[in-house]
Amino acid sequence: MLWITLSLLIGLLILVLFYARRRQKNEPPLDKGFLPWLGHALEFGKDAAKFLRRMKEKHGDIFTVRVAGKYVTVLLDPNSFDSVVNDTVCLDFSRIRNQLIKTVFGLQLPGTSPTSERKWMERHFQGLNLFKLSASMNVHLQNLLLSNNTNSSLSEWRQDGLFDLCYSLLFRAGYLTLFDSRDDPAAVYREFRKFDELLSKLARNLLKQEERKTARSCQERLWELLSPGWLSEELDSWQQSYYRFLQEERIDAEMQNRALLLQLWTTQCNAGPAAFWLLGYLLTHPEAMKAVKSEIRGLSTLQDTPLQHPSISLLEAHCTPVLDSVLSETLRLTAAVMISREVVQDKILHMADGQEYLLRRGDRVCLFPLLSPQMDPQIHQEPQIFKYNRFLNEDMTVKDHFYKNGKRLKYYTMPWGAGKNSCVGKEFAVAAIKQFVFLLLTHLDLELCDPEAKVPPVNSSRYGFGILQPDGDLQVRYRLRRTRHEM
Ligand code: HEM
């Protein structure tokens, strides 16, 4: 009996060794990690940036790692990104996305082609529709800020965490702009935040039993809050139009509701955290705050409108080079998306330095722009430091000449992705963040509770999920300003 068991075990070992993956000629360096099947999954899930930095030091700009049974080739040379972001034949965007939305949102959209969904989104977030949505966003932001602050007691100092202040205001205004239910945006926000906090663990299947229950109950509550029973009669609203799109794609009622939660997340999860970092950096860098305020004071909007109603128009939003540079610098430091594609056909990857690597069908390829270009010391001097004018030339034009190894870079920062699947909501998000910052700086006296405070560290479990979130918060005090002269 012992002999049979031993022979079986040896046979199994031989099989594993025989079929185990080895690096083939022309393939990137392979690092499987010690744990069978899991590979580097634990280190990756804990702090992906730290892990990938370690791998880059060990292997260079391209390597393949094993993560939970998958082989992922990580490419960290921005001069070679085009061969990934523009390849829709050998590389596929939608399979990984579909898996993610099934795991996180319990959503399956059979029959819906990714191109038709993207086209639908583009129609609604560009041109005249973008203009209408941004105008509506501006009105909701003003109403929320001023309705909370109209009576005299609210002209007194209040204290809050800056992250919650930014996320809550932008989320509620965004929700009122796009979704029909007007009943209780604050309740939707509270439920969404609970869900959002569990999201990275949910996506990586790392939830404990209790957390799994919480995530499930948040999902159910949000499905209920977003469901058609709550819809208004407004026929040309964004939500109604999205419903019609899903119906035309023959998506059943249950999946329609789940799709709404996905849309809530896609449209609302990044702008609030981005506004937090932007204001956090301004409050902790007085020279940057001074430059932004001086630029805002010069805008024509402020010249002839009463304090209660100044708003930044789309046109003016394009004439704020200092604020634009501050936003780019904020996103350089905090946009941590992972651009992942599935290799659906063997592919030769041509690197900018002339090297060629074979990518195997069934593997994944991943760019992590936060590490390079965004935090690459060869591209950006002192990359850890916030420099408000990093993206500004002396003549106040946009600085877009950045180099690595003497070669000018097309991708020197990449918060919105690139190529065929780059962000559809970029203009909407930029307008919303700028309107929000403008509104807060013109309407509020806003200051740090502790003048020596620094921006908090990032929550390292969120690398890969868009804009980072802080580990902790920055306490601020604020009150409604009576005149704008002190700004
Ligand atoms: C600060 C805010 C935002 C950031 C940093 C951001 C970032 C990104 C990035 C990096 C991608 C590309 C992902 C990839 O290539 O794998 C992306 C895709 C996308 N984003 Fe955004 N986004 C933001 C806000 C928004 C908003 C407000 C909307 C909707 C109005 C939106 C809608 C989308 C959609 C629909 C896609 C998928 C595009 C496709 O299917 O081809 N995003 N976003």
C-alpha of residue 10 to centroid of ligand 1, in Å: 50
Instruction: Look at residues 312, 286, 283 and name the one whose alpha carbon lies nearest to residue 299.
Output: 312
Residues 125 and 195 in one domain: yes
Q: Which two tokens stand for residue 206?
A: 């790392």
Q: Which helix (H) or strand (E) holds 347?
A: strand 347-350
Residue 9: inside a domain:
no
Quote the pLDDT of residue 227. Answer: 81
Report which residue type is found at 96: I
Residue 255: inside a domain:
yes
Q: Which helix (H) or strand (E) holds 75?
A: strand 70-75
At residue 414, φ and ψ (nearest 5 deg) are -145, 50
Residues 41 and 186 in one domain: no
C-alpha of residue 317 to centroid of ligand 1, in Å: 20
Residues 425 and 390 in one domain: yes
Residues 59 and 85 in one domain: yes
Quote the pLDDT of residue 7. Answer: 64
Residue 130: inside a domain:
yes
Residue 10: inside a domain:
no
The reported pTM is 0.93
C-alpha of residue 218 to centroid of ligand 1, in Å: 23
The ligand 1 atom nearest the CA atom of 421:
41
Residue 237: inside a domain:
yes
C-alpha of residue 267 to centroid of ligand 1, in Å: 8
Quote the pLDDT of residue 155. Answer: 77
Report which residue type is found at 29: P
Quote the pLDDT of residue 5. Answer: 61
Residue 279: inside a domain:
yes
Residues 236 and 102 in one domain: no
Residues 31 and 44 in one domain: yes
- Chosen domain end from 367, 386, 410: 367
Ligand 1: which residues within 6 Å by Cβ?
114, 118, 121, 125, 266-267, 270-271, 274, 335, 337, 339, 415-417, 421-425, 428-429, 466-467
Q: Which residues of the chain fall short of a pLDDT of 50?
A: none
Residues 359 and 433 in one domain: no
Residues 238 and 271 in one domain: yes
Quote the pLDDT of residue 487. Answer: 67
Residues 270 and 350 in one domain: no
| 458: number of Cβ within 10 Å | 20
Residues 35 and 141 in one domain: no
| Residues contacting 391, CB < 8 A, separation 6+ | 324, 325, 328, 329, 398, 399, 400, 413
- Report helix, strand or coil for 62: strand
Residue 278: inside a domain:
yes
Residue 463: inside a domain:
yes
- By residue range, what is the domain housing residue 288? 114-335+370-480
Q: What is the CATH number of the domain that holds 379?
A: 1.10.630.10
Quote the pLDDT of residue 181. Answer: 73
Cβ-contact 473, 161 below 8 angstroms: yes
- Chosen domain end from 350, 367, 384: 367
Cβ-contact 280, 474 below 8 angstroms: yes
| Sign of the dihedral through C-alpha 244, 245, 248, 249 | negative
| Cβ-defined contacts of 245-249 (< 8 Å, 24+) | 245/117, 245/120, 246/112, 249/109, 249/111, 249/112, 249/116
Quote the pLDDT of residue 73. Answer: 98
Q: Distance between CA atoms of 116 and 453, rounded to whole angstroms?
A: 47
Residues 70 and 216 in one domain: no
Taking CA atoms, 240 is separated from 352, 357, 409, in Å, by 46, 47, 42
Taking CA atoms, 420 is separated from 111, 172, 332, 339, in Å, by 20, 30, 21, 12
Q: Distance between CA atoms of 89 and 252, rounded to whole angstroms?
A: 30
Q: How many domains does the chain have?
A: 2
Q: Using CA atoms in the order 26, 27, 33, 35, what is the torsion angle rounded to 10 degrees?
A: -110
What secondary structure, in 3-state letters, does 285-345 show? CHHHHHHHHHHHHCCHHHCCCCCCCCCCCCCHHHCCHHHHHHHHHHHHHHECECEEEEECC
| Residues contacting 69, CB < 8 A, separation 6+ | 37, 38, 39
Does 270 appear as a known binding residue? yes
Residues 67 and 210 in one domain: no
Q: How large is the C-alpha radius of gyration of the chain?
A: 24
Report which residue type is found at 349: L
Residue of 423, 426, 427, 468 to mutate, ligand 1, most atoms within 8 A of C-beta: 423
Instruction: Look at residues 57, 476, 426, 41 and name the one whose alpha carbon lies nearest to residue 283.
Output: 476
Question: Any idea which residue has 């945006």 for tokens?
Answer: 185
